[in-house]
Structure 1
């Protein structure tokens, strides 16, 4: 094709128009594409790559609330709680009615050990969205951490009132009933949870704890092994099986489970207590007292700690 002056002029106009069109919508389109790519990586659990895509989106638009929110999710999944909290806070600053950001920030505060900040966010979410179960749910979790069990129970009940189709809510309420030694009420809630989601591993872990309290070691081990089968990555399940094995007299197998749990979470006071019980059962007074005194100083309310500390001191 031969280019006349007119053809060249027309071609330049078309090209120029295309450049103008791209430049007009490119920032919006590009940041959206980066967000989408980040979300895909997030779903693949490739959190670092997700963060890099969100960073690119934020370079294009420093006020992109969804990019801050999603980057916060990625940071939180990597247990990088401080940057996660920063990002959720930025999303809230940009969009003060951002309910999901309040919820995620409250959960992250809780994971970071900042119970009262978590509680404040839960209260804000309840005020912002009184029909949303999540504010009551987080409040229940915080009250559990503070050992304010009656208030925790009331909050979980309120969450169930708002949404009765979530297994986790019944499991959490059953956990509080277990702490209060109301085992039959706990089992009733666990049966409701089974009807909603029979593959929720925590159901069977709580059942195992109740069986242990009833001195039914075989049933306790059976239930916790079902929990492990459903979620083999949960440190607490191995720790509980370790405790049951100690009481069954299988000390070394029990210690293996306890150590595996501590490898995943070295600050788990229940596992440290169990290690103290192991050393008591082995007749090692010094190590038994060391572990049990440490746990008791940090949380004297943990069951069996005081009992076995006193027994260890009598060796």
Structure 2
């Protein structure tokens, strides 16, 4: 990571702190500084758009979100903020169209389903967690995190053979020794039950 990127992130974080304090003048100054340092820093543009929106400068907010999307067309955060602005300003149809695209992108992302699966596990909703991990697996069979999630759910519901099977697959898909060792320890633990 370049010094320029680190400095831009520093000022962006300072701006986010000011934004949380509702000190929009300071937030603006910090985001502006971040963008002077790194004009391609899409998160800075998104946050600047939030300052504009909260300050009632809706046209500037829209242009800023669109600029962020020009830098990173895959930014779901920029898209969601633009949709929120459209909803807030009475442009519901445009907002709904953007949110439909965001939802489609999220549902096509295995990590989105891994995250949802983990949230369901925290609530001990095992069937829902299993559904999300299975959806993630259907989207991408190469991610060790997906197999790890499946193994954990099966362990929690007492299906130890399935748990061991998925821990083995997680180990096979792991790309570093640390994860391989972590999964091997879990397999060894299950063998000793």
Look up the match of 1:121. Answer: 98
**Which of 73, 84, 91 is the aligned partner of 2:50?**
73
Secondary structure of residue in 1 paired with 2:8: helix
Distance across 2 between alignment mates of 1:63 and 1:131: 26
**Which of 68, 91, 94 is the aligned partner of 1:91?**
68
1:37 and 2:17 aligned: no
Distance across 2 between alignment mates of 1:54 and 1:27: 14
Q: Is there any run of 5+ residues in structure 1 with no aligned partner, and where? A: 1-23, 133-162, 164-315
TM-score, length basis structure 2: 0.52
1:130 and 2:107 aligned: yes
Secondary structure of residue in 2 paired with 1:129: helix
Which structure is larger by alpha-carbon Rg, 1 or 2? 1
Q: Is there any run of 5+ residues in structure 2 with no aligned partner, and where? A: 110-119, 121-193
**Which of 70, 81, 87 is the aligned partner of 1:104?**
81
After TM superposition, which residue ranges in structure 1, 4 or more long, deviate above 4 angstroms? none
**Which of 30, 40, 45 is the aligned partner of 1:53?**
30
Secondary structure of residue in 1 paired with 2:53: helix
Secondary structure of residue in 2 paired with 1:62: coil
Residues 262-295 of structure 1 show CA distances to partners (whole Å, capped at 9, x for unaligned) of xxxxxxxxxxxxxxxxxxxxxxxxxxxxxxxxxx
Give runs of aligned pairs for residues 192-231 of structure 1, distance below 5 A.
none
Question: How far does residue 94 in structure 1 lie from its aligned partner after superposition?
Answer: 1.4
Question: How far does residue 35 in structure 1 lie from its aligned partner after superposition?
Answer: 0.8
The alignment of Structure 1 onto Structure 2 pairs a total of residues equal to 111
Question: How far does residue 124 in structure 1 lie from its aligned partner after superposition?
Answer: 1.4
Question: How far does residue 29 in structure 1 lie from its aligned partner after superposition?
Answer: 2.9
